[in-house]
Structures are given as structure tokens and as C-alpha cells.
């Protein structure tokens, strides 16, 4: 069957580092005799994405030249677009015991996820880490301007905290991935590889596909965004993060159940596919919006829904900065190197009682007293505190699922409400 879908990023097709069959068994056996390096949950997710082709054309962790180019210019050393560094950090003692050219095993929580041939090791000073944070995480919101970024980032930005806590040396090199971890078993039918989604799109005859990125359960605004895309595209991939989140976020299995419930009752199912991907959230706002578009291209998606405060945290980013950044990224004219997945830029959406339906700032002429402001943070805060949920905020069937989850919690995490989620800046 001839595919009408957008080509994978990088011009080399799906680059999949995951081994199988006898090659996998042989590499697993060899890995037992290699020096074992403990890796973070973030690196585990990155490895799985390299394994299944989600990070095509990456086949390993970035060199210093790649790291610098990505931070500075959104491009790896060879000019291929990439928005966020994909690096592997180790402590100095491990780095001292490893030589360039060595093979090592990468282990997380007792399981070896990959082997790696070390091509380069390079120091990451505190100043290097700070520079990466400023390039990748600093935005145009009030927590980023007027010298405020470092006053608040170490307390309030989980992405900055993660980078600053990294160890002092990065290792670069090609990997061979040995495991997809818990995802195939725990999320059977939801955890899908790029090859699987592409095959599903092809079977449905889709050529023009949009993706809706989720780290929260779908409220009415998410539903409205997805339905806008369905009207103008062949179909929509509702694509949820099923890796690690920050404390207070709703876990993946609950979100999957809530989305299933919404699709069952409020969508034409033939026009929607729900899937999950195994990354940890980086909370990089606009840069992460670009990352979402980059790996969605590998999944066969050519339109990325970008709404208000996409992948944001706190008030570090402008409300629509994640849309604007798509207009500023480099274009080489080479489809193999450039980002081909384009943004669908949707204005702030909400329920308006005067309009008697879902609207946006582009279509609703009424003031905010008539509007139910929708956000995942606002929903989580209300649910966590047992507060009433305003009418038209979420579908009743979905709220039943979410209330059951919150009622079962023995420990509550305070959910902070920033301006981007409250609607104060509307």
C-alpha cells in the first residue's frame, strides 16, 4: 500500500535502535559483562523512543557539538532540526572509568535497557547547565523576564531542576535498545510505536493527520480542539504522555481511562485514535511544543495542535509563545533536515454562556464573565480540593472517573494556580 503520510524526520525513514530475535538475545548476554551505568527515568524514555523510531533520526545520545547546536540554533551539528537536547549524564567517577570506544550497559531500576558504544565524553560545568536552562527553558512569561528566571526556576520549574541536578559528564554514542520496559504490557493497545500508528493511518486512508498532545485528562477545551482538527483533517491522534510527570499530575492509567470514556460517548470513533508515548515531561514550553511536533512527524502526523500555554509550567512562558516559536525556527529548504509537521494554531478556547457553546477569543464577542475558563491545572486543583466543578468544564462521564481517583488518594499534593491557568490574563 502506498502511504500518503508525511515522511519521518531526518530523511532516513524510521530509525529504530530496538533489537529483536537472536540479535537481541546475543546483545542481552553481552550486556551482562559490560560496565553498567545507572540512568534516569528521562533517559529511559529517550532510549525507548530511539528504539521504536520515535526520535528518528537519532540513534544515540548527542555529542557536545549536537548539544550546543540544538541549544543555540535548534539544529544538530549536521544541520538537522532538533529542539531539545537528548543527552546522557554520568558522574565523574563513572566517566573516569570509561574510555571513548568502550561499550557500556545502560540500566534503570535493575533492568538493562540498552548498550552503548561511547563515541565522546564531555564535561558539563554548572555554567554549561545554566546556559542550557536559559536557552531551552527560559521564555517570555513573567517568571522569565526582568531577571526573575533564576529567582524562581530552582523552586518552581521541574525541567530546570532536572538539568541542574544532572551529573557532571555527558556521554555520546550510538545505542542498541534491548527493552521497551513496562509500556507494552501495562498499556496494551494504547502504547503504539510509530510503525503501528502509520499502519493504522494507512489502513484508514488518512493522509492529513493532526495530533493532540495531552498530559492531563481531556476537558471541554481539549475536546473542542480535537473536533476542530477532525473537521479539517482526515483524523486525529489523541496522544498522551505515559511517562513520568511532576507531583500532583494525574497518572497515565487514570488519564487513559478518562480519554477512553470521552471518546466512547462524544466522538465518532472512526475519526480518532488514542495512543500513548513513553517520555517523561520536560516542561520546556515552546521548545517542548517543537519536540512534540518533531516526534509526531515520525508517528505519521503532519499537523500539531498548539493551544494556550502548550507544555508550560508556572508563568515562565507567554500564553501563545509555543505557537510563535514555529515561525522562528531555521529552514534549510532540505525536507530531510527541516521540520515538516506544522502547527495548528488555535486561540484560547472556553465555554461561553452567551454563545451557548464552545468558543474562542477569535469567535466570541462577550466578556469573561460569560466564559468558563478551562485548564488542566484548574481542573486538577478543584478535584484535589473536593471543590465543585463549574458547569460545562468537563463531561459528566469523565468527571466520574476523575473524582473516583481523587477520592482514593491518601496523600494530596497542593496544586499551584498560576496566571496562565486561571484566566486572569484573558
Phi, psi of 209 (to 5 degrees): -120, 135
CA 278/CA 63 separation, integer angstroms: 23
Phi, psi of 355 (to 5 degrees): -75, -20
What pLDDT score was predicted for residue 382? 84
Q: Is the pLDDT of residue 386 over 60?
A: yes
Q: Is the pLDDT of residue 423 over 70?
A: no
Of the listed ranges 198-202, 361-365, 408-412, 422-426, the one predicted with least confidence: 422-426
Task: Choose between 253 and 130: higher pLDDT.
Answer: 130
- Cβ contact 42:84 at 8 Å: no
What pLDDT score was predicted for residue 276? 96
CA 213/CA 317 separation, integer angstroms: 17
What pLDDT score was predicted for residue 425? 54
Q: Is the pLDDT of residue 377 over 90?
A: no
What pLDDT score was predicted for residue 42? 95
Confidence of residue 412 (pLDDT cuts 50, 70, 90): low
Selecting among 170, 216, 302, 303, the annotated active-site residue is: 216
The answer to whether the peptide bond before residue 316 is cis (omega within 30 degrees of 0) is no
Q: Is the pLDDT of residue 418 over 60?
A: no
Q: Are strands 169-177 and 209-214 parallel, antiparallel or unpaired?
A: unpaired
Residue limits of CATH 3.10.400.10 in the chain: 21-124+166-179
Instruction: Tell me the pLDDT of the chain averaged across its residues.
Output: 93
Q: Is the pLDDT of residue 5 over 90?
A: yes
Q: Is the pLDDT of residue 217 over 90?
A: no
First vs last C-alpha separation in the chain: 48
The question of whether 271 is a catalytic residue gets the answer no
Dump strand ranges (E) for 55-138.
60-61, 88-90, 103-108, 111-123
Task: Choose between 421 and 243: higher pLDDT.
Answer: 243
What pLDDT score was predicted for residue 213? 94
Q: Is the pLDDT of residue 311 over 80?
A: yes
Of the listed ranges 55-59, 209-213, 296-300, 312-316, the one predicted with least confidence: 312-316
What pLDDT score was predicted for residue 336? 97
Place of cell 533492568: 111
Confidence of residue 389 (pLDDT cuts 50, 70, 90): confident
Phi, psi of 419 (to 5 degrees): -60, -35
Coil, strand or helix at 61: strand
Residue 387 to residues 219, 244, 378, 406: CA-CA distances in angstroms? Answer: 16, 26, 11, 11
Confidence of residue 409 (pLDDT cuts 50, 70, 90): confident
Q: What CATH fold (topology level) applies to the domain 21-124+166-179?
A: Sulfate adenylyltransferase (3.10.400)
CATH H-level superfamily of 187-422 = HUPs (3.40.50.620)
Indicate the angle between helix axes 396-407 and 376-384, nearest 10 degrees.
Answer: 50
pLDDT tens, 141-194? 999 998 899 999 999 999 999 999 999 999 999 999 999 999 999 999 999 999
Percent of the chain surpassing pLDDT 90: 81
Average the pLDDT over 402-406 and give the result. Answer: 90
What pLDDT score was predicted for residue 78? 97
Residue limits of CATH 3.40.50.620 in the chain: 187-422
The question of whether 380 is a catalytic residue gets the answer no
Selecting among 42, 170, 198, 215, the annotated active-site residue is: 215
Amino acid at each position: 500500500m502506498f502511504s500518503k503520510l508525511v515522511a519521518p524526520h531526518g530523511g532516513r525513514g524510521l530509525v529504530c535502535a530496538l533489537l529483536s530475535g537472536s540479535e537481541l538475545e546475543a546483545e542481552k548476554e553481552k550486556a551482562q559483562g559490560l560496565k553498567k551505568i545507572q540512568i534516569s527515568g528521562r533517559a529511559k524514555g529517550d532510549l525507548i523512543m530511539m528504539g521504536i523510531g520515535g526520535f528518528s533520526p537519532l540513534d544515540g545520545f548527542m555529542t557536545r557539538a549536537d548539544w550546543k547546536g540544538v541549544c543555540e540554533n535548534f539544529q544538530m551539528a549536521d544541520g538537522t532540526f532538533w529542539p531539545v537536547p537528548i543527552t546522557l549524564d554520568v558522574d565523574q567517577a563513572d566517566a573516569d572509568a570509561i574510555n571513548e570506544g568502550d561499550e557500556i550497559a545502560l540500566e534503570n531500576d535493575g533492568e538493562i535497557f540498552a548498550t552503548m558504544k561511547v563515541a565522546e565524553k564531555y564535561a558539563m560545568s554548572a555554567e554549561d547547565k545554566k546556559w542550557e536552562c536559559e536557552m531551552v527553558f527560559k521564555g517570555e512569561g513573567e517568571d522569565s523576564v526582568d531577571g526573575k528566571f533564576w529567582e524562581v526556576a530552582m523552586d518552581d520549574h521541574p525541567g530546570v531542576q532536572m538539568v541542574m541536578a544532572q551529573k557532571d559528564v555527558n556521554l555520546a554514542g550510538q545505542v542498541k535498545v534491548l527493552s521497551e520496559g513496562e509500556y507494552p504490557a501495562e498499556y496494551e493497545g494504547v502504547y503504539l510505536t510509530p510503525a503501528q500508528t502509520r499502519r493504522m493511518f494507512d489502513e484508514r486512508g488518512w493522509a492529513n493527520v493532526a495530533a493532540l498532545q495531552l498530559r492531563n485528562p481531556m476537558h471541554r477545551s481539549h475536546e473542542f480542539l480535537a473536533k476542530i482538527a477532525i473537521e479539517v483533517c482526515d483524523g486525529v491522534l489523541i496522544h498522551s504522555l505515559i511517562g513520568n510527570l511532576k507531583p500532583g499530575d494525574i497518572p497515565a492509567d487514570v488519564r487513559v481511562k478518562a480519554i477512553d470514556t470521552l471518546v466512547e460517548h462524544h466522538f465518532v470513533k472512526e475519526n480518532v485514535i488514542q495512543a500513548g508515548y513513553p517520555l517523561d515531561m520536560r516542561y520546556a514550553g515552546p521548545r517542548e511544543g517543537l519536540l512534540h511536533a518533531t516526534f509526531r512527524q515520525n508517528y505519521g502526523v503532519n499537523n500539531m495542535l498548539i493551544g494556550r500555554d502548550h507544555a508550560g509550567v508556572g508563568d515562565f512562558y507567554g500564553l501563545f509563545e509555543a505557537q510563535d516559536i514555529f515561525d522562528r525556527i531555521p529552514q534549510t529548504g532540505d525536507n530531510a533536515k527541516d521540520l515538516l509537521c506544522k502547527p495548528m494554531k488555535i486561540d484560547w478556547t472556553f465555554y461561553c454562556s452567551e454563545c451557548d457553546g464552545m468558543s474562542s477569543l477569535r469567535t466570541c464577542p462577550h466578556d469573561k464573565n460569560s466564559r468558563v475558563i478551562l485548564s488542566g491545572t484548574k481542573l486538577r486543583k478543584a478535584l484535589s480540593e473536593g471543590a465543585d466543578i463549574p458547569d460545562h468544564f468537563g463531561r459528566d462521564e469523565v468527571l466520574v472517573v476523575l473524582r473516583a481517583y481523587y477520592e482514593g488518594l491518601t496523600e494530596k499534593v497542593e496544586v499551584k494556580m498560576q496566571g496562565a491557568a486561571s484566566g486572569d490574563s484573558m
